[in-house]
């Protein structure tokens, strides 16, 4: 399947590293003009340089803004007033004792993982609807054991379904992409919090999956590019009939017949 996003403009939040960087790179490779977002100009510039090294013809727009705040969302919209593809990838995670999570920490997870996406959807969905075409993708998760993280990502599924209904009949699709255990720098650190730090990475990864993610049918961590492949597909014309859904790229981690 050949996916051509030439002429489309995308914004990927939290795209200076990890899954977000892989998504931005894949969208650029498919021909989209892509907004690269991070909190500082330095990190955004580094990401832009890395992506251009991989995709020399990439059309990239630096978007240095903290989109977890209303001011940051306005700054992002000023840098990219019109967006055809919005990928709400930004998120935070981390293990915590459920009984020790403070009210402020619950609020922080909701603010970053949910409200940041809601603010940007409110800004960009009206224009997409008026133009009769748009793609909104919210990066969700299969994780439920990190209770505050799981709460926020579950809320994102409801946000997705609600905005998909708001966009009904407009030519705009709104979907969640449920990412399974994925190999990123942050996840490497998380893995080593749970297994012996003296182990080489390949061995540590295998032990982590065996001990802490035994449901995985892949029996390995997913690579960020594999998440990006699904995001690019959902951003395409070929995915025009997929909306309001929670599409799994989880390596078969969720043990169910239906999503």
Q: What does the pLDDT look like over 46-68, one tens digit per residue?
A: 999 999 999 999 999 999 999 99
pTM of the model: 0.93
pLDDT at site 88:
98
Strands 85-88 and 59-64, sheet pairing: unpaired
Using left for φ > 0, alpha for ψ between -120 and 50, and beta otherwise, residue 13 falls in: beta
Catalytic residues: 149
Q: What 3-state DSSP class applies to 194?
A: helix
Closest C-alpha to 230, from 164, 144, 135, 143 = 135
pLDDT tops 70 at residue 258: no
Looking at residue 70, its pLDDT comes to: 95
CA distance 168 to 170: 6
**What band does 246 get if pLDDT is binned at 50, 70 and 90?**
very high
CA 113 to CA 115: how far, in whole Å? 6
Burial class of residue 174 (count of CB atoms within 10 Å of its CB; 0-12, 13-18, 19+): buried
* pLDDT at site 253: 85
Delineate the domains of the chain, giving CATH numbers in brackets: 9-182+222-246 (3.40.50.720)
User: What pLDDT is attached to residue 144?
Assistant: 64
The two three-digit tokens of residue 147, written as one number: 């209770």
Q: What is the pLDDT of residues 172-213, one digit of tens each?
A: 999 999 999 899 877 888 899 999 999 999 899 999 999 988
Q: What separation, in Å, do the N-terminal and C-terminal C-alpha atoms of the chain show?
A: 24
Average pLDDT, the chain: 94
């Amino acid at each position: 399947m050949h996916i051509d996003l030439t002429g489309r403009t995308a914004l990927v939040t939290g795209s200076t590293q990890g899954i977000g960087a892989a998504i931005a790179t894949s969208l650029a490779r498919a021909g989209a003009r892509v907004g690269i977002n991070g909190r500082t100009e330095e990190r955004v510039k580094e990401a832009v340089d890395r992506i251009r090294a991989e995709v020399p013809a990439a059309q990239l727009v630096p978007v240095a803004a903290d989109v977890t705040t209303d001011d940051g969302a306005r700054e992002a919209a000023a840098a990219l007033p019109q967006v055809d593809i919005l990928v709400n990838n930004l998120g935070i995670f981390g293990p915590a004792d459920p009984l020790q999570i403070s009210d402020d920490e619950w609020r922080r997870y909701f603010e970053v993982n949910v409200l940041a996406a809601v603010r940007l959807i409110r800004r960009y969905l009206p224009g997409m609807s008026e133009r009769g075409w748009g793609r909104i993708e919210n990066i969700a998760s299969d994780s439920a054991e990190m209770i505050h993280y799981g709460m926020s990502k579950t809320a994102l599924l409801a946000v997705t379904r609600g905005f998909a209904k708001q966009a009904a009949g407009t030519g705009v699709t709104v979907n969640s992409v449920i990412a399974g255990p994925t190999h990123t720098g942050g996840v490497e650190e998380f893995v080593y919090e749970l297994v012996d730090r003296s182990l080489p990475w390949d061995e540590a990864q295998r032990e982590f999956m065996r001990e802490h993610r035994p449901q995985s049918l892949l029996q390995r961590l997913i690579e960020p590019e594999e998440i990006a492949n699904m995001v690019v597909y959902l951003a395409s014309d070929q995915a025009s009939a997929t909306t309001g859904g929670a599409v799994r790229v989880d390596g078969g981690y969720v043990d169910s017949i239906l999503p």
